[in-house]
């Protein structure tokens, strides 16, 4: 009796096989027909996969996250391109989820047969047969688990396989798969759990992550580390059984402990992150060097203690060779409640004397001055404005090099006036400086001493142009930004400014007692705005261009907001950092300067070398007559006799005269013995 049981079982299996052989062609034909119908009536909604919102992520040049936040659907989701995922993670995923992924058409009939047999034998669902492709379709359109939903999912999987490659489907999976909580995708999971990109995952880490999607909440390593480890070991065994790894690799991975990473520090917002997201809302890989950024922040916080209350420091660092922005500090403390989120790198502020090198560069380019040319440093008055040097001194005559090194205001203003303000502004803009609309027109002559607001990033880039020997390049914030070089200055001009402003020609703050070899070599210029509201120090060492701004965002002045006092020590300390410091250039460029048309005539005793100008009355002045006449005092800007003409009639020959003038509009001119005529117009109104 017992011997007949195997025989009856065999006959039943053979009968079942014959039925299946008869039915399968019809099932296959019906499936093909249904697929054609579905294709025509309901094309695969691929846009649901490709338009899934991604988390905005700002990354430094080494792959470290500077800032990240959830996507529009409140999920952490980062794209996972296969060439940016460790091979072990791809192999672990295939071993754990779909060992025949590269051989089936989207539906694995072998896995389905196995699952049906197991589920019938156990009289409950103990095994599934979803392929990676089917899971992608399920992620796209979540629905209740049912036979009808499973059939639709299977058809969708076959559809997807027909329009996308296996690697593309795997990328969809690795981007959308759940890894616990609201963490989507292996790239997000790798950074969340291990603090590194998916491309750097170890074998053990790859296996742990590959095991999570089967039951994301149960296998979360941050909540259930032992269960996650056990699941990892199962995946490692799968990889060994399927030939992905050998015994030694499996043994080493099994012994590796689970070390998780706290990624909360990766999500802090910063000025550079805000700037990056403003340019690209989805984020991207930036040129920021986090190690240098951290060093900058340490220096800034150290100097914060000596600065006035409510003062902020901004720092911008640009790589000279690539034009990449390596560090960006917008304020002393981003989280300061009152004004910490203001960005000093992009704020429009008055740069003081930091623009003076470009005034002299304009004269050098026009062959109107040389570094050793003599420029006047005398009293001047323009339309009621009597500018003086910062220290109140007056030197009568100085060389260009000495005037720039001492940051004398009057020689720079007289140079800008003679060479032309518009020409100076054009050179400044050509090297990378930007001005607010209408700022140059408002500032006019005061442009030479910082009368027009600029941004720290642009001014730093202008000094990077000097570092490149006169080649301008737009600063790059993202690694894939393009930036072409354009020559805007002669190299000789730039190297002349280097020689004048280098640390070999003067000692930076903090290195007063150091030898030439002990101090860092760099070129820099400080600046102090009117009323001491802004302190600047900007320079380069031909490797990096660095700009420092110190001040208050509300514009309140302070006696300490002087470039040399507040900003220069910060700049000097940055240039002294080991990763920033460079050796001094071996030899300066020798230039035989040829000045075609000297900007200033040689100064004779008692003369200024400048055209004689009418100091009083001011051009456009208005007087009120008394008794139908007005007394107008006229004088020139120096004690030399000139010939005076009122409305074309000769009046007198003296340095100053008194004019008895009737109501009306008048033209007053003075003619020196050797020089240009100066004219002003003024009006006299009746009483």
**452 phi-psi bin (left φ>0, alpha ψ -120 to 50, beta other):** beta
CB 528 within 8 A of CB 520: no
CB 486 within 8 A of CB 468: no
What tokens were used for 585? 């250039």
The helix (run of H) or strand (run of E) holding residue 76 is strand 76-77
Strand order in the sheet with 614-616: 614-616, 630-636, 656-661
Q: What are phi and psi of 68, to 5 degrees?
A: -150, 155
DSSP conformational letter for 472: E
Can you tell me the distance from the alpha carbon of 387 to that of 316, in angstroms, rounded to the nearest whole number? 31
Can you tell me the distance from the alpha carbon of 413 to that of 447, in angstroms, rounded to the nearest whole number? 8
Residue 353 is among the residues annotated as catalytic for this protein: yes
Residue with tokens 């559809």: 159
DSSP conformational letter for 377: E
Return the axis-axis angle of helices 132-140 and 166-176, rounded to nearest 10°: 50
CB 408 within 8 A of CB 395: yes
| Catalytic residue, candidates 55, 88, 91, 97 | 97
Q: How far is CA 6 from the centre of its chain?
A: 77
CB 297 within 8 A of CB 329: yes
CB under 8 Å to 607, separation ≥6 — which residues?
Answer: 638, 640
What tokens were used for 306? 């000596």
The helix (run of H) or strand (run of E) holding residue 96 is helix 87-97
Residue 397 is among the residues annotated as catalytic for this protein: no
Can you tell me the distance from the alpha carbon of 137 to that of 153, in angstroms, rounded to the nearest whole number? 6
Dihedral in degrees, nearest 10, Cα atoms 274, 279, 280, 285? -70
Measuring CA to CA, which residue among 668, 665, 650, 683 is closest to residue 613?
A: 668
| Catalytic residue, candidates 88, 154, 353, 430 | 353
CB 220 within 8 A of CB 258: no
Residues in the chain: 687
Helix, strand, or coil (residue 65): strand
Q: How many CB atoms lie within 10 A of CB 382?
A: 17
Q: Could you tell me the CA-to-CA distances from 500 to 230, 239, 505 in Å, in that order? A: 69, 67, 7
Can you tell me the distance from the alpha carbon of 433 to that of 449, in angstroms, rounded to the nearest whole number? 14
Burial of 50 by CB count in 10 Å (0-12 exposed, 13-18 middle, 19+ buried)? Answer: exposed
Can you tell me the distance from the alpha carbon of 475 to that of 454, in angstroms, rounded to the nearest whole number? 15
Helix, strand, or coil (residue 685): strand
Give the catalytic positions in this structure.
97, 353
């Amino acid at each position: 009796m017992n011997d007949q049981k195997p025989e009856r079982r065999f006959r039943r299996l053979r009968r079942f096989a014959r039925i299946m052989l008869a039915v399968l062609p019809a099932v296959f034909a019906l499936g093909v027909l249904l697929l054609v119908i579905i294709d025509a009536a309901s094309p695969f909604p691929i846009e649901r996969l490709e338009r899934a919102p991604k988390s905005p992520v700002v990354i430094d040049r080494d792959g470290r996250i500077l800032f990240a936040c959830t996507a529009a659907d409140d999920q952490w989701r980062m794209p996972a391109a296969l060439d940016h995922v460790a091979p072990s993670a791809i192999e672990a995923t295939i071993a754990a989820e779909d060992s025949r992924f590269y051989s089936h058409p989207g539906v694995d009939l072998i896995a389905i047969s196995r699952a049906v047999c197991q589920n019938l034998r156990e009289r409950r669902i103990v095994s599934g047969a979803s392929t990676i492709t089917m899971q992608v379709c399920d992620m796209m359109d979540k629905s209740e688990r049912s036979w009808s939903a499973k059939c639709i999912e299977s058809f969708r999987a076959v559809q997807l396989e027909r329009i996308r490659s296996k690697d593309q489907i795997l990328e969809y999976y690795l981007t959308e798969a759940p890894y616990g909580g609201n963490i989507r995708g292996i790239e997000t999971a790798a950074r969340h759990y291990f603090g590194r990109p998916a491309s750097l995952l170890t074998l053990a880490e790859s296996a742990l992550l590959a095991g999570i999607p089967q039951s994301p909440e149960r296998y979360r390593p941050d909540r259930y580390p032992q269960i996650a480890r056990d699941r990892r070991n199962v995946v490692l065994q799968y990889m060994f059984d399927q030939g992905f790894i050998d015994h030694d690799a499996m043994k080493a991975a099994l012994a590796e402990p689970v070390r998780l990473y706290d990624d909360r520090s990766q999500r802090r917002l910063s000025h550079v992150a805000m700037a990056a997201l403003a340019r690209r809302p989805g984020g991207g890989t930036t040129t920021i060097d986090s190690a240098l950024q951290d060093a900058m922040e340490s220096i800034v916080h150290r100097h914060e203690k000596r600065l006035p209350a409510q003062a902020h420091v901004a720092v911008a660092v640009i790589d000279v060779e690539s034009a990449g922005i390596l560090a960006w500090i917008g304020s002393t403390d981003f989280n300061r409640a009152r004004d910490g989120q203001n960005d000093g790198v992009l704020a429009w502020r008055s740069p003081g004397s930091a623009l003076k090198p470009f005034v002299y560069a304009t004269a050098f380019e026009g062959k109107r001055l040389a570094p050793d040319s003599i420029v006047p440093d005398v009293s001047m008055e323009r339309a009621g404005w009597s500018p003086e040097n910062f220290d109140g001194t007056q030197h009568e005559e100085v060389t260009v090099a000495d005037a720039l090194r001492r940051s004398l205001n009057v020689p720079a203003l007289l140079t800008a006036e003679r060479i032309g303000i518009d020409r100076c502004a054009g050179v400044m803009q050509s090297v990378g400086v930007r001005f607010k609309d209408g700022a140059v027109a408002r500032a006019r002559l005061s442009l030479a001493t910082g009368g027009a607001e600029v941004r720290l990033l642009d001014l730093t880039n202008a000094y990077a142009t000097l570092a490149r020997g006169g080649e301008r390049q737009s600063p790059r914030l993202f690694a894939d930004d393009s930036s072409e070089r354009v020559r805007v200055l002669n190299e000789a001009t730039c190297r002349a400014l280097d020689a004048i402003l280098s640390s070999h020609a003067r000692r930076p703050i903090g290195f007063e007692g150091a030898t030439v070899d002990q101090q860092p070599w760099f070129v820099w210029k400080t600046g102090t705005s009117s009323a001491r509201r802004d302190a600047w120090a900007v320079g380069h060492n031909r490797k990096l261009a660095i700009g420092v701004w110190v001040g208050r965002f509300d514009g309140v002045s302070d006696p300490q907001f002087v470039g040399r006092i507040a900003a220069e020590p910060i700049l000097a300390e940055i240039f002294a950092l080991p990763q920033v410091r460079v050796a001094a250039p071996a030899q300066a460029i020798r230039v035989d300067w040829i000045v075609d048309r000297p900007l200033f005539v040689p100064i004779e005793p008692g003369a200024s070398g400048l055209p004689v100008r009418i100091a009083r009355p001011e051009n456009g002045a208005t007087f009120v007559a008394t008794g139908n006449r007005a007394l107008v005092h006229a004088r020139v800007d120096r004690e030399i006799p000139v010939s005076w003409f009122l409305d074309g009639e000769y009046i007198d020959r003296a340095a100053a005269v008194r004019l008895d003038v009737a109501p009306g509009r008048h033209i007053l001119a003075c003619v020196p013995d050797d020089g240009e005529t100066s004219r002003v117009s003024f009006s006299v109104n009746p009483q």
